[in-house]
Amino acid sequence: MEDIENELSDRDRAIYEWQLNVPGLGEQGQVKLRNSTALVSRIGGLGGPLALSLAAAGIGKLILVHGGHLRPDDLNRQILMRHDYLGKNRVDAAAETLRQFNPHIEIETVAENFTEGNAADLVERADIVFDAAPLFEERFLMNRECVLQQKPLIDCAMFNMEGQVIPIVPGETACLACLYPEVPEHWKRRFPVIGAVSALIANIGAMEGIKLIAGLSGVNLNRLIYFDTLAMKLQKVKIVRNPDCKICKKL
């Protein structure tokens, strides 16, 4: 491997030249991105464009976590997929798209969703976790493991024409269980979604993660970033830790 631990290769300088000029990023920030592993669960409407933006930014390694096979009704938003992958593993389609786009990053696929059995191991292998799962049971597992292992978690969610991103740094910020102490009774697996809304929210999440990894300022800690695409309104809601949170109160 031509990469030197604290330096960029000439190849990487050529690829990332335009973003090395971004104030605050520079070569040091780019090296941090290249030396980092990001886990994305899942890689559908939110996680797909999120993984694509991380690949474009030059993250060193992506772990893509998503179970199941591609269905026709995934294709209005899951932009890493292709029609000829219908019936096949979603993670394989996503990995193929990402490898074609950026062959210089490492991609690992896990063709299953977060479960009690794999959560600890999956989080252990990542430096940062991006949550784009449709069920609160999975989200709470990721949150719990990230708090236990003190890894940052970027929680991304959307519904209808709206979305939200919560950057979680265990011990410093509210965690997901601080906000939602139990599984919400009325959340449904199927939700209304336009792909462009997912992609927009995904890229807000990607930016919060990139800032965290690369050491840029301006990460929205203890904020819930809410975006309404109908009104085109962005709002940052100040959120607070719950001193009685059963997940993070010990930190």
Partner 1 sequence: MTLTIDYTGQLASVVGASEEAVEVAEGDSVADVLKGRLEVYGEKFGELVFDGEGRIRSTLLVVLDGEQAAGDKENLSLEGVKVLMLMTPIAGG
In Å, what is the CA distance from 99 to each residue of 109, 145, 211, 232, 236?
12, 28, 23, 33, 35
Which of Zn ion, partner 1, none has residue 191 at its interface (CB below 5 to 8 Å by kind)? partner 1
**Min CB(137)–partner 1 separation in Å:** 10
Mark out the alpha helices in the chain (DSSP H runs): 10-20, 26-34, 47-57, 90-101, 119-124, 136-149, 176-179, 195-214
**Are 242 and 174 spatial neighbours (Cβ–Cβ below 8 Å)?**
yes
Alpha carbon distance 44, 66 (integer Å)? 8
β-bridge mates for residue 164, sequence order: 157, 226
**In whole angstroms, how close is the CB of 19 to partner 1 at the nearest point?**
27
Residue 142 is a binding residue for Zn ion (CB under 5 A): no
Of the candidates 31, 62, 63, 175, which one interacts with Zn ion according to CB under 5 A? 175
Q: Which residue in 178, 201, 204, 219 binds Zn ion (CB under 5 A)?
A: 178
Residue 175 interacts with, from Zn ion, partner 1, none (CB under 5-8 Å by kind)? Zn ion
Rank residues 12 and 74 by Cβ distance to partner 1 and give the closer one: 74
Rounded CA separation 171/222 (Å): 11
- Which residues here bind partner 1, judged by CB under 8 A? 42, 44-47, 132-136, 139, 156-160, 162-164, 179-182, 184-187, 191, 193, 198, 224, 226, 228, 230-231, 235-240, 242
Task: With contacts defined by CB under 5 A, name the span among 68-76, 152-160, 217-225, 242-250 that binds Zn ion.
Answer: 242-250
- C-alpha 204 chain-centroid distance: 10
